[in-house]
Amino acid sequence: MTPQAHLREQICMLAKSMFDRGLTGGSTGNISARTPDGGLLVSPTGTSFGRLDPARLSRFDVNGRLVDGDPPTKELPLHAAFYDTRSTAGAVVHLHSCHAVALSMLPEVDPDDFLPPLTPYGIMKLGRVKLLPFFMPGDPAMGEAVRGLAGKRSAVMLANHGPVVAGKDIEAACNAIEELEDTAKLAMMTRGMSPRALSPDDVQALVTKFDVEWDV
C-alpha cells in the first residue's frame, strides 16, 4: 500500500470511529490531512464520517487544485487557514460534538481560554483554546478569524457550532479534538459544583515540562 493509500484508509477509519462513538452525527464534521507530496486529502461535501469512501476523498495538489475525488467540504477555507498559518499542521479535524457546543453557549466561558484546566491532558494536547464567535456554516470569515490568530492556536471553538483542531498528523489531530470534547464534557458535568481545577502553578508546570504552546 502506498503512503497516500494508507493515509486515505486512516482518515476514513478514524472518522468512522468518531462517528460510531457519537462525536459527530449525520453529515456533520469535516477532516483533512497533508499528503506526502504536499497536497491535501479532504472529506467531500455532504458526506458522513461514518461512511467516507477512501477512493472518493477530495484530493488537492500542492498548488491547491482539485485533481480528483468528489467536491470538498464547504469549510475548506477553515482548514486552509490552519495549514497556511501553522507550519506544523499535518491534519485538521472539525466536529459538531455536543458537550463542546453546549459549553460554547454558556455566558461565563472565557473566549481566550475556552476550556477550564480540569485535567492535564487538555492542556498538553491542545494548549489554550480560543472561542470564536458564531459564523454561518461555510462562511469564509471563519478562516479569516483563524488567520487573525497568526498561527498561535492549534485549536479553536466555533460558538454554537463545533471545535476545530490542527495536529502534526491525522492521529494527533483526532486525539486532540477528542480530548477537547472530553474536557468540555467534564466541565458540563461539574458545572455549579465548584470542582477543584488545576492551579495556575500546575498549569505552568505542565506547559514547561511538555513544551506546550501557550499563547498569552
- Locate the domains of the chain by residue range: 3-209
- pLDDT of res. 136: 94
Residue 33's nearest CA partner among 76, 2, 67, 63 is: 76
pLDDT at 216 over 80: no
The reply to whether CATH 3.40.225.10 applies to domain 3-209 is yes
- pLDDT of res. 215: 73
Angle between helices 3-20 and 170-189 in degrees, nearest 10: 10
Nearest-angstrom CA–CA distance, 71 and 112: 34
The reported pTM is 0.96
- pLDDT of res. 34: 98
pLDDT by residue (tens digit) across 91-144? 999 999 999 999 999 999 999 999 999 999 999 999 999 999 999 999 999 999
Does residue 121 carry a catalytic annotation? yes
Nearest-angstrom CA–CA distance, 19 and 17: 5
Q: Which amino acid is at 196?
A: R
- Give the pLDDT mean for 30-57: 97
Cβ burial, residue 49 (10 Å; 0-12/13-18/19+): buried
Of 25, 27, 98, 121, which one is the catalytic site residue? 121
Q: 85 pLDDT band (50/70/90 cuts)?
A: very high
Nearest-angstrom CA–CA distance, 214 and 204: 9
- pLDDT of res. 98: 98
